[in-house]
Amino acid sequence: MMDPKELIARRVALELRDRTLVNLGIGLPTLVARYVPPGISVAFQSENGIIGLGAPPPHGMEDPNLTDAGGGFISALPGAASFDSATSFALIRGGHLAMTVLGGLQVDAAGRLANWMVPGKLVPGMGGAMDLVTGARRVIVAMQHVARGEPKIVRELTLPPTAARPVSLVVTEMAVIEPTGRGLLLRERAPGVSVEAIVAATGADLLVPEEVPEMPVAPARPGAEPADPG
Amino acid sequence: MHLAISAVDAARLIPDGASLMFGGFMGVGTPERVVDALVARKARGLTIIGNDTARSGIGVGKLIDAGCVARVMASHIGTNPVTQAKMIAGEIAVELIPQGTLAERIRAGGSGLGGILTPTGIGTVVQDGKRVIEVNGRRFLLELPLRADFALLHAHEADYEGNLTYRLTATNFNPLMALAADCVIAEPNEIVPTGAIPPDAVRTPGILVNHLVERPQ
């Protein structure tokens, strides 16, 4: 069986569209850059001020003025552009960002995402997450279906929401779920995973169509240089 | 003509209790020599405004470590456990601001605007206590302009007039903060003769810069 994170990343990669601007969050979403389908050219943004970030440079070639949003050294691809933080968030809020992929702590029946704090436990700050969820044309949540035995897809958020707006798609290692005006629609199931297992691992009601196809995934690219945008 | 001052002199200009905007994103684009001088002079009670508090021992993280800071306004402190510990202990007050909102509040502060309207934060705790204004059927938060006593910038090059250039992702908040403080101190990697920077390459006009920090001798 495929590693759950790899499965999620390879399914999310199929949402990438040619010649669009994409922002990947830190953590699991970063893996998506490794599986950009052949024939598709995507520009990755890092919100600290660059479009066209590339893989980490060879050892000893790091530039202290060229990093990703996690502070890691990166390279820049030919055609890259750098800019200040107001421009970076104008791209995000102004409808210029086709898609963002973010991790999640919870998604509720209305499609709302919570991913920036756990009251009393973890208060890292929202960073750019609230702007990304508010402003990106499509918001994809890439997360594990269950955390410590508890469903992460719930009837109503118990954690503070990141934005009022519903996300566009939730991709887990079990299923692809689309928030709609009528509720959460089960669109696809992971290879070997039954609809019953998905329903049992989900804390909110799912709209289950008669036919739930198995999720396709982007091809693995062995040997491909991972363009890790942080 | 600007007179370059030492980092130590720059730190002397900044009184305890001052509010400081710091350029930088995880320490990248932060004026480290001024930070070190503030730590050395044992500054106290500072308010620091910037994207994050980097990590312990890096960028403004050094100010947190050394107990120079009373208040932080930032979008993210998750990478600095010292900031979190001091926040929980009540030693540092932290106000978290969405990153894009922070950028625009600083831009507004430097641009003579009365605030900005942003959809970011609607329906979240960020909305608490703020005015919601509807424009063309869409709801926005009124976010107020932000200014500071000092802006502490990191630049790539400066010329003798204080014209500044920046490099790649070290740009971040620096050019925005250059407009939003009463006193602007820039720490460039290089100081080059006036005329060496082509006008199109200047990102911050020198007229905005009060002091340049000289390179270590």
* pLDDT reading at A12 higher than 60: yes
Q: What CATH number does the domain located at A4-36+98-207 have?
A: 3.40.1080.10
Q: Which residues sit opposite A46 in a β-bridge?
A: A50
What is the rounded CA–CA span in Å between residue A17 and residue A115?
25
State the average pLDDT over residues A194-203. 98
What is the rounded CA–CA span in Å between residue A87 and residue B103?
9
Is there a contact between A66 and B119 if contact means CB atoms under 8 Å apart? no
Give chain A's radius of gyration (CA, Å): 17
Tokens representing B30 are: 């932060």
Is there a contact between A84 and B171 if contact means CB atoms under 8 Å apart? yes
Place of tokens 């309207």: B117
Report the chain A residue with the minimal C-alpha distance to residue B80: A124
B132: DSSP letter: E
State the average pLDDT over residues A85-90. 98
- When the pLDDT of each residue in chain A is averaged and rounded to a whole number, the result is 93
Least Cα separation, residue A124 to chain B (angstroms): 4
Are B173 and B105 spatial neighbours (Cβ–Cβ below 8 Å)? Answer: no
A47–B contact, CB cutoff 8 A: yes
Q: Which residues of B touch A128 (CB under 8 A)?
A: 75, 98-100
Is there a contact between B174 and A84 if contact means CB atoms under 8 Å apart? yes
Is there a contact between B171 and A83 if contact means CB atoms under 8 Å apart? yes
Report the chain B residue with the minimal C-alpha distance to residue A76: B168
What are the b/e assignments for B178-195, b being 16+ CB within 10 Å? Answer: bbbbebbbbbbeebeeee
A207–B contact, CB cutoff 8 A: no
* pLDDT reading at A228 higher than 50: no
pLDDT at B2: 66
pLDDT at A230: 40
Q: Please give the order of strands across the beta sheet that includes A113-114.
A: A113-114, A106-108, A153-154
Tokens representing A21 are: 């601007």
Where along chain A do its domains lie? 4-36+98-207
Of all residues in chain A, the percent with pLDDT exceeding 70 is 96
Least Cα separation, residue A131 to chain B (angstroms): 5
Least Cα separation, residue A82 to chain B (angstroms): 5
Q: pLDDT tens-digit profile of B19-44?
A: 999 999 999 999 999 999 999 999 99
What is the rounded CA–CA span in Å between residue A230 and residue A219?
21
Provide the pLDDT confidence category of residue A222 given band limits of 50, 70 and 90.
low
Is there a contact between B120 and A134 if contact means CB atoms under 8 Å apart? yes
pLDDT tens, residue order, chain B (217 aa): 567 999 999 999 999 999 999 999 999 999 999 999 999 999 999 999 999 999 999 999 999 999 999 999 999 999 999 999 999 999 999 999 999 999 999 999 999 999 999 999 999 999 999 999 999 999 999 999 999 999 999 999 999 999 999 999 999 999 999 999 999 999 999 999 999 999 999 999 999 999 999 987 6
What is B4-99+145-213's CATH superfamily?
Glutaconate Coenzyme A-transferase (3.40.1080.10)
Answer yes or no: A47 catalytic: yes
